[in-house]
Amino acid sequence: MTAATVALPPNRLSRDALPTLQAHLLSPQWREPRIGIVHLGIGNFHRAHQALYTEEAMLAAGGDWGICGVTLQGNVGKRNALMEQQGLYSLVERGPDGAKVTVIRALREVLAMPADAAAIFARLADPLVRIVSLTVTEKGYCRDAKTGEVDLDDPAIAHDLAAPLAPRTVPGILVAALRARRDAANGQPFTVLSCDNLAHNGAALRQVVCSFARRLDAALADWIAAEVAFPSTMVDRIVPATTDAECVSAAEQLGYRDAVPVPCEPFRQWVIEDRFPQGRPAWDAVGAQLVGDVMPFELAKLRMLNGTHSTLAYLSMLGGFDTIDAAIAEPALRNLIHAMMTDEIAPTLSLPASFDIAGYRDALLARYANPALKHRCAQIAMDGSQKLPPRLLATIAARIDAGRPYRRLALAVAAWMTFLRGHADDGTRYEINDPLADKLKALAASAQRDTVALMNALLGVREVFDAKLAAHAAFRTTLDDALRLLQQQGARGAIAAWQ
């Protein structure tokens, strides 16, 4: 029997059902909080990570930190599904020993942009809202990769500059909301909290928002720069996409239908720069690390986890591994990733003496091998043009500066370039999901089977490769060798040979 044919319970998850779900709650004690956080981008990751921490923090120390989630790009389906369940959803933590299902209550309201624009801006103007957090992916920042300023060539940004009271983009929404907060009677801003996998995410978002605001109103830009806090964060938890099987699994344990369960691994980590002038939940009481400088932790995660995740994804898409656990179970690929972390990535990091880098490496490998998650490589392979610079290219640049080798890192870049041809080594075709997909696919197709032509074409994409790295002779030689090996022996052969 397939997931699609399993009979689900007739009743949907709802707050009326909570008395019968005590075994699936973090605590039977609960006071419905007022909304104090608006979260832009109410996807699976937020619901498995920040929302969980926030509910735990309210249970530990109280506070009105209920969450209003905002779906972007017109996703009313998710809004409707969550609101039909009064904001409730189940978190399915999958480990080697089985699944633990927890019903999360911190989400109090879900709105959709642009359908609920008036309600969203009313909520953002509410002085009870003291934090606006985001998980919108790197492309949601509408950021010029070269300058860090807002991308003026983005048609959506052009729209928002022309119609600032009807914004569509994250920078436009934030600036419109902050203008309203500045002009209100008490003039108190909210704190803007980025939770995306973006280097220096708080500072990066601040630059984008201020540069957008300056195009409209210099005084407003100055006020934002002086009064609004943009703390940086590092977030970590593997959260795959929800499948029909997850809905069945959650229903079997709960006895209620949940249209939007969230699967995740047991591990989670949150490191937060402690700058919240308007207050914050007691996240530090429930496992989050509040620090003065997120950077060392951010780099460790970006390079060790995200960098090897991308490496696994692109080699797996070529070599025919569907999921991360299947990929890391291949001894040669596990050995390559272990060596990459140990010999090429870890030496580029400067971490507190208390940080056990070898233990962190081994924990990552164990997380990858979790057979319960089935984290699809195709999901991780998305948006490579934006992920490569912080995850792999910055590490290569650090190795070059140190005069040290980076063969395995170069193989990862070569795998991404080869991945852009749109088919695995056995001919199986797949989609290229990337903001630059059309451009990248055209360049890859124009090179045909000429690895030098492919390398030259893609190294010329300035949104991905800076001119200095693209012109570095030793990098080009190493990359060309890797591309030739992938073409001649395929991904599995290259993995075995490129240890």
User: pLDDT for 133-148, tens place per residue?
Assistant: 999 998 999 999 889 9
Q: Cα Rg for the chain, rounded, in angstroms? A: 23
- Give the model's pLDDT for residue 198: 84
- Give the model's pLDDT for residue 1: 35
Instruction: Say whether both 168 and 202 belong to one domain.
Output: yes
Bridge partners (DSSP) of residue 263 are: 92
- Give the model's pLDDT for residue 26: 98
Predicted confidence (pLDDT) per residue in 307-329, tens digit: 999 999 999 999 999 999 999 99
Q: At what angle do helices 170-183 and 155-162 cross, to 10 degrees?
A: 20
Return d(Cα 221, Cα 179) in angstroms, integer. Answer: 9
Instruction: Say whether both 287 and 302 belong to one domain.
Output: no
Instruction: Say whether both 100 and 47 belong to one domain.
Output: yes
* Domain total in the chain: 2
Instruction: Say whether both 100 and 241 belong to one domain.
Output: yes
Instruction: Say whether both 242 and 301 belong to one domain.
Output: no
- Give the model's pLDDT for residue 353: 87
Q: Name the stretches of the chain with pLDDT < 70.
A: 1-6
Instruction: Say whether both 404 and 287 belong to one domain.
Output: no
CA 419 to chain centre: 21
- Give the model's pLDDT for residue 3: 47
Residue pair 387/310 in contact by the 8 Å Cβ criterion: yes
Return d(Cα 463, Cα 139) in angstroms, integer. Answer: 12
Instruction: Say whether both 381 and 454 belong to one domain.
Output: yes
* pTM, full prediction: 0.83
Instruction: Say whether both 32 and 62 belong to one domain.
Output: yes
- Give the model's pLDDT for residue 97: 84
Query: Which structural domain, as residue segments, surrounds residue 160?
Result: 3-291
What is the end-to-end Cα distance of the chain in Å, rounded?
A: 43
Instruction: Say whether both 450 and 306 belong to one domain.
Output: yes
Instruction: Say whether both 37 and 112 belong to one domain.
Output: yes
Instruction: Say whether both 250 and 304 belong to one domain.
Output: no
Cα 323 to Cα 49, 372, 432, 499: the distances in Å are 22, 11, 17, 22
Residue ending a domain, among 239, 270, 291, is 291
SS3 state of residue 191:
strand
Residue ending a domain, among 267, 291, 315, is 291
Residue pair 465/472 in contact by the 8 Å Cβ criterion: no
CATH label of the domain that carries residue 454: 1.10.1040.10
Instruction: Say whether both 317 and 258 belong to one domain.
Output: no
Residue ending a domain, among 291, 308, 327, is 291
Bridge partners (DSSP) of residue 192 are: 132
Q: For 429, phi and psi rounded to 5 degrees?
A: -95, 150
Q: Which helix (DSSP H) or strand (DSSP E) does residue 91 occupy? A: strand 89-95
Exposure of 87 by Cβ count < 10 A (0-12 exposed, 13-18 middle, 19+ buried)? buried
Q: What is the DSSP letter of 382?
A: T
CATH label of the domain that carries residue 268: 3.40.50.720
